[in-house]
Amino acid sequence: MAVEVLMPKMGMAMKEGTVSRWNKQAGDLVSKGEVIASISSEKIEADLEAPANGVLLKITVSEWEGVPPGTVIGYIGHPNEQIAEETAATATFQTAALEKNLEEPVAMTESATIAASPTSAKEVKISPVARKLAEAAGLPVESLIGTGPVGRITKEDVEKAIAEREAKQAVAAEDDRLPAVAVEETTEQLPVTGMRKVIASRMMASLQESAQLTITTRADVTDLIALQKKMNEVTQKEHEIKLTVTDLIARATVLALQRHKQVNSAYIDDRIHRYGHVHLGIAVALEQGLVVPVVRYAESTSVLDLSRRIKALAAQAREGTLGMEEMQGSTFSITNLGAYGIDFFTPVLNSPEAGILGVGAVQETPVFIGEEVQRRSILPLSLTFDHRVLDGAPAAEFLHTLRKYLEEPYRMLL
């Protein structure tokens, strides 16, 4: 009997998962434990392994379609094994009924029948991705022919209809021998799902729901870099860990937040919440988007422990093993674009936090020290803060304190 391949539940808060890529196609041989697809949900992306040996008999959920966890997305069985039509139809119906954008009323009795009328767009069986693609192209969904299960219209059906329409328009233009006209450029349309969808909604909400302002400064980190190099001679040899400038910036930020608790705050339900502990968010860039794992109780950690935890969380993020609980509850965040050669920029608040620090690229700059010109390492810093919580002066005081720690790094060791 065919084995069902189910959409996994990745995290307690997961409501919908998306098949971002099928590594195998129907008819391919698969081995138990072999990666057959990539699954994304909110800020987590993971590989989906085959639950059994055999042949991938059927794929019931196309790429970029979102379905609730537990939904059957495919079947694995013996070569030439047939899936009972009733079983396949039932699984398809259950999947469709669970999808957010496909909530169709079902007639329960004869008295609930609807007067005969032309098929409406809402009544057409069509995947959410196909519906969006058809709407963007101006195609009436009721005019499309579905080739999916139970006559459901798929993304491929819409793409075929668009291609046929463009072909007809090209033939008509050639037959009429009209002068060359501007043809609408074909663009690649990517559905916004999973991690990208969450980032988009949260960033828009952040900008719409808070009064954001960014101020900038420069810190001379020449001595900080020298200290980092000296400390590494010991930490790499005795503790097998390499301290980075980012680790020391994180430590300085935690110390500055303890002295300026109003920055370690959030605006929630018309109240300012000032936190007693520092839960530091460190932004990590992934191919699929951005995640912000959280170092909890960062004020209680040493420089070495802070470095270890930052590196461990970043590694988990890149491996796709971060849990939702490890990306929630931050009170202040740091985002570093220095590796990309960026100087100053405007970070967007990680709501409901009151502040986020943007770190740019270190620049070797000639600076007057007394009467002499010296080569110094200058670090650009950008602080975005919520003006509902902070005014410009206390935000500037925090940035001044942070700069003091970075320019006189021995203060971090006292």
Q: How far is CA 2 from CA 74, 80, 82, 247, in A?
A: 10, 11, 8, 51
**The two three-digit tokens of residue 35, written as one number:** 């990666």
**Residue 10: closest CA among 38, 46, 35:** 46
**Known catalytic residue: 277?**
no
**Known catalytic residue: 157?**
no
Contact 152, 92 (CB under 8 A): yes
Q: Pick the catalytic residue from 47, 78, 391, 400.
A: 391
**The two three-digit tokens of residue 124, written as one number:** 């057409």
Contact 130, 157 (CB under 8 A): yes
SS3 146: coil
Count of CB atoms situated within 10 Å of the CB of 233: 9
Distance CA 261, CA 332 (A): 11
Residues 6+ apart with CB under 8 A from 399: 215, 217, 381, 383
Count of CB atoms situated within 10 Å of the CB of 163: 11
Q: Pick the catalytic residue from 223, 273, 277, 387.
A: 387
Give the number of residues written for the chain: 414
Distance CA 410, CA 414 (A): 7
**The two three-digit tokens of residue 44, written as one number:** 């987590």
CB burial of 35-47 (b: ≥16 within 10 Å; e: otherwise) equals ebbbbbbbbbbbe
Q: Position of tokens 């790499």? A: 236
Active site residues: 387, 391
